[in-house]
Chains A and B, each alone.
Chain A
Amino acid sequence: MNTTANKALSLRTEGDTVIIVTRRFNASPEAVYRAHTDPAIVQRWMLGPDGWTMPVCISEPRVGGQIRYEWAHPSKPGFHLTGEYLELEPSRRIVHVERMFLPFQTPDNHCETTFERDGDGTVMTMRMTLPDAETRKQMLASGMEKGMETSYARLESQLA
């Protein structure tokens, strides 16, 4: 078993907007694909830093199917992600789009994930394409303005 190679996460960028992540797993492409699409399994590992849980995990692995992950923490405000599946080739490839709500909305992240057999394991490659920096800035600003509207609406209802 080559544990060292497994743990080596490679993350590189291509231009300003593309991030390519590579990781090897000691499991078949079928299993790694299933772990990325079956909500009962996604819920067990896609948790980020320790202390977070995913009380809501919706994943409908079919073209046009919805994705919704909600994260919770005992002492920090939660956040969520929504997305849609665009293309699926079982055990081989997933194409989906996702965005986070922090609570302001982050720009759409376009992801292509491929699973390739490598001996008795699988090499996973995830290619993420983010919008350009200017679009990201504009979307962040518009998200802030929405936050302001909500705050003012809440203030008005409190004053009424």
Chain B
Amino acid sequence: MELLDFSFAALADPTRRAILARLVLGEATVLELAKPFQMSQPAISRHLKVLETAGLIEQRVDGTRRPRRLAKPALDNIDQYLNTLRRALAANYDRLDQVLADMNQEANSIPTQENQGGPK
């Protein structure tokens, strides 16, 4: 779930979502990305760093240029998706074991509760 958690945080920011939307159209350099947002290059670079850590974008080396492009989306990568799913389901079902045990106890305790209505 770690990468997915990073992805949520990365996508929570409107500028970062807009950067991703721009990269859907094709790769772009920091300078090209900074222009439409009227932001400084360091500010854009900080957003790019967050997106890179989340595994959403990657750098390509082209001479002196370092254009950014969309990484293979986390949800598009079936192996990564399966690992995330397996961990989430394992945590859920371990919790469900306990909930089912509690449900069973609650069902069994109904007559006991009625008994407790009497003198103690």
Which residues of A are interface residues toward B (Cβ below 8 A)?
6-7, 9, 11, 13, 16, 19, 21, 23, 25-27, 31-32, 34-35, 41, 44-50, 76-77, 79, 102-104, 106, 133, 136-137, 140-141, 144-145, 147-148, 150-152, 154
Task: Return chain A residues, CB-CB under 8 Å to B100.
Answer: 25-27, 31-32, 35
Interface size class of B (residues with CB under 8 A): 35 or more
B18 interfacial contact with A, CB 8 Å: yes
Q: Are B5 and A151 in contact (CB under 8 A)?
A: no
Closest to A46 in B: B92
In contact, B14 and A151 (Cβ under 8 angstroms): yes
A7 to B95, CA, bound (A): 11
Complex CA–CA separation, A140 to B76 (angstroms): 9
Complex: how many Å from CA A141 to CA B24? 6
Contact A35 B1 (CB under 8 A): no
CB proximity to A under 8 Å, residues B33-83: 73, 75-76, 78, 82
Structural contact, B18 and A151, CB atoms closer than 8 A: yes
Complex: A106 Cα to B8 Cα, angstroms: 13
CB pair A48 B92 closer than 8 Å: yes
CB of B31 within 8 Å of the partner chain: no
The 3 closest A-B pairs by CB, nearest first: A148-B21, A147-B17, A77-B12
> A11–B11 Cα gap in the complex (Å)?
29
18 contacts between A and B (CB under 8 A): A9-B90, A13-B82, A16-B78, A19-B82, A25-B93, A34-B103, A35-B99, A41-B103, A44-B95, A45-B93, A45-B95, A77-B8, A77-B12, A104-B17, A140-B76, A144-B17, A150-B14, A154-B14
CB contacts (< 8 Å) of A41 on chain B: these are 99, 103
**Residue pair B93, A23 in contact (C-beta under 8 Å):** yes
A19 touches B24 (CB 8 A): no
Q: Is the pair B8, A35 in contact by a Cβ cutoff of 8 Å?
A: no
Taking a contact as CB atoms under 8 Å apart, the answer to whether B85 and A137 are in contact is: no
Pair A104/B11 contact, Cβ less than 8 Å: yes
* Cβ of B108 under 8 Å from chain A: no
Given known contacts A32-B100, A35-B96, A49 and B88 CB-to-CB distance under 8 angstroms: yes
In the bound complex, residues from chain A placing their C-beta under 8 Å from that of B29 are none
Are B5 and A76 closer than 8 Å at their CB atoms? yes
Q: Assuming A77-B12, A151-B17, is B97 touching A49 (CB within 8 A)?
A: no
